[in-house]
A and B are shown apart, each in its own frame.
Chain A
Amino acid sequence: MRSFLYFVLFLVIAILVTVLTAILGDQGAWYFAWLVGTTMIVLVSAAGGAMLDANEENAAQNPPPVEHRHSGAGGAE
C-alpha cells in the first residue's frame, strides 16, 4: 500500500512537472532554464562533496605503496 501511495505521489509530481514544462517552454523559457539550471548546480555540487568522501575512503583503504630508496651500497650488492 505504501509503495502504491508513493507511486501515485511521484506520478502526480511527474504530471505537474510535464505541465509546468509545457507552459514554461512556451511562455517563460528563462524561468524554465532557471529551474533546470538550479537543480543541476545543486546536484553537481552535492556530487562533488560525495566524490571527495569516496576519494578519501578509497585512499584510506588502498594506501599508496611505500617507496624504497635504492642506496648506492644496495646497488653494489
Chain B
Amino acid sequence: MINGTVVDLSRAQFAATALYHFLFVPLTLGMSFLLAAMETVYVTTGKPIYKQMAMFWGRLFMINFALGVATGLTMEFQFGTNWSFYSSFVGDIFGAPLAIEGLMAFFMESTFVGLMIFGWGRLRKGQHLAVTWLVALGSNLSALWILVANGFMQDPKGAKFDPVTMRMHLTSFQQLIFSPDAQSKFVHTSIAGYVTGAMFIAGISAFYMLRNRHMDIAKRSFRIAVLFGVLATIGVVTLGDALGFVDAQAQPTKLAAMEGLWKSTPAPMAFNLIAFPEQAKQKDVGAVRVPMLLSLLVTHSLSGTVPGINTLEQQAAQKIRNGIPAVEALKALSRDPQDAAAMAQFRAHRADLGYGFLVQRYAPRLSQVTPAQIERAAKDTVPPVAAVFWSFRIMVALGLMMMAFFVLATLYSLRNRIQNKKWILKVAVWMIPVPFLANEAGWLVAELGRQPWTVYGVLPTWMSASTHSVGYMVFSLIGFVTLYSIFIAIEMYLMIRAIRIGPGEYDDDGAAPLLPRPMLAPRAQPAVPYGGNLEG
C-alpha cells in the first residue's frame, strides 16, 4: 500500500503547482479576447490609438503568457511522475484531451502569439486581426481540452472499466467532450478568465487616470474593459449556477459540502449564508440561514430537495458493500482471466467498483471487512466540508463584489464621468487581485470537493499516487514552490516595469516604432552594384 504521507505530499505538490499556474491562465484567457476587441476597433475605425492600446496590452499579455506556459509544463509531467497508477488506470481516456491541449497550446496558440507580437508592421491590418482572434480562440480552446479532462475526473462519462486489461477504456469520445460537467466547467472557467482580464485592464487604466497619464488610452481601455467585465460577470454567475445544478446531479457530496448540509431536510431548504462546519461532530456552528433559498438555488424550485451528508453516507455504505464483491472478483480475474464465475460476479457489482477500492484502504483482506471499516470508508466519501464551504462563499462573494463594481464603473464610464470619480478609480486599482483570489477559491471548491476521489466514484485518491519516498516528495515540493515563487516575482517585476513605462508613442498613422533588432540578425547594407569592384 502507498504511504499516506506520500499521497498527501503528491496532492500538495499538484495543488501548489496548479494554484500557481492558475494565477496566469485566466488572465491569458481574458486578455486575449480584450486584445481582439481593441484591435477590431482599430481595424474597423482605422484610429491609431487602438493599435497603440492593442500593442501595449499585448506586451503585458505576452509577459503573462510566457510565464503561464512555463508553470503549466510541469503539471502535465506530474501525471506520469507522481500519479502513475492514475495515469495507467485512466490514461486511455485522459491522454487524448491532454495531447490535444498540448498540440493546441504549442502549435496553434504559441505560433499565433509569435505572429501577434512580432507581426505588427509586417502583416496587413486584417491579417493581424485574424491572428489576434486566433490567439484568443487558441488559448481558450486549449483550456477547453484541459477542462474536458477535468470534467471526466468530476463526472466520468464515455468510459468503462475493462476487467481484462485492468484499466478504463474510452467508449464514447462524444460523451467525453459533451459531458454536462465538462461543458459547464469550461464556460464558467473561460468566462471567469474574461472577468480577470477585464479587471486587470480596468485597474491599470484607473491607475493611469488617477495619475493623469496616458488619458486617451486609459479612458478607452477602461470603457472597453468595464463593458467586457460587466457582461462577463453576469455570465460567470449564471454559468456558475449551471455548474452547481450539474454538480447536484453528478457530485452530491461536493454540493452538500459547499452548502454545509449535514442532514437531509424537507423542502423548501434553507441556505447557510454563514456557518462554521465541524466535520467530526457533523454540525454547523453559528449558522445564519436564509429560508427557502437553497431549494431555489440548487433545484430552481421551492419543492426541490438535495440529500444531506447523513443520507449520502448511508448510500455510500451500501455502495461499499456492493463494491466489495466487484474488487474480490477482480482479484480472481487477475489470477485467471478465464474465470467465468468471477466475471459474472464482477459484472453484477461493477457499478460500485470504486467504492470497493475505497474500503480496501482499511481492510486489505476484503473477506474479513468489518461494519466499522465500512462506516469509516463511508465517512471518507465526504470532502473536507469547512474548506469547501468557505472557498465557495469567498468565490461567490468576490464574484458579486466584482459585478457591483463593473455595473457602477460602466455607468460612470458611459456618462463620460469616470475620470472625475477618483474614489471608483482607486477602488478599481485595489480590485485587481480580487478575480485572482476568486479563481483560486473556485479551483479549491472544484478539486477539494471531489475528494476522496481522483475520478469521482471510480478511483480513490489514496490508490492513484506513485510509490515515491517521502524525502523525494519533500525535496521536489520545496523545489517547485521556490521555483514558482521566483516566477511570480519575475512576472510582478516585469509587469510593474512595463506599466510604469506605459504605452509607447506612435506615429499619427499608427505606424509602429522600429522594433529592436535581434543581435545576430544581418544588418541591412547599402546596395553595391556588382560592377563596383571592377570600377575601382
Give me the interface of A with B, judged by CB distance under 8 Å.
27-31, 33-34, 37-38, 40-46, 48-53, 55
Contact = CB atoms under 8 A, between A and B. Distances in A.
Contacts of B44: 46, 50
Nearest to B225: A45
Interface of B: 33-34, 36-38, 40-41, 44-45, 47, 50, 140, 174, 177-178, 180, 183-184, 186-187, 190-191, 194, 219-220, 223-225, 227-228, 231-232, 235, 239, 242, 413-414, 416
**By DSSP majority rule, is chain B's interface helix, strand, loop, or mixed?**
helix
A49 B37 contact: yes
**Which of B41, B177, B186 gathers the greatest number of chain A CB atoms within 10 Å?**
B41
A46 B177 CA distance: 31
Contact of A27 (B41, B47, B178, B414): B178
Given A46-B37, A48-B223, A28 B178 contact: yes
B224 A45 contact: yes
Given A27-B178, A28-B178, A45-B224, 17 more contacts: A28-B177, A28-B183, A30-B183, A30-B184, A30-B187, A31-B187, A33-B187, A37-B187, A42-B33, A44-B227, A45-B34, A45-B228, A46-B224, A48-B413, A52-B219, A52-B220, A52-B223
A44 B174 contact: no
A33 B219 CA distance: 30
Secondary structure at the A interface, as helix, strand, loop or mixed, is helix
A23 B87 CA distance: 31
A53 B224 CA distance: 12
Contacts of B34: 45
Given A37-B235, A38-B33, A42-B37, A48 B191 contact: no
Contacts of A38: 33, 140, 190-191, 194
Contacts of B184: 30
B38 A46 contact: yes
Contacts of A34: 186-187, 190-191
Nearest to A42: B37
A48 B186 contact: no
Contact of B41 (A40, A41, A50, A55): A50
A45 B416 contact: no
Contact of B231 (A30, A31, A45): A45
A55 B37 contact: no
A52 B221 CA distance: 10
A76 to B, nearest CB: 37
A44 B393 CA distance: 30
A19 B186 CA distance: 22
Contacts of A43: 37, 40
A31 to B, nearest CB: 6
Contacts of A49: 37-38, 41, 50, 220, 223-224
A60 B228 CA distance: 27
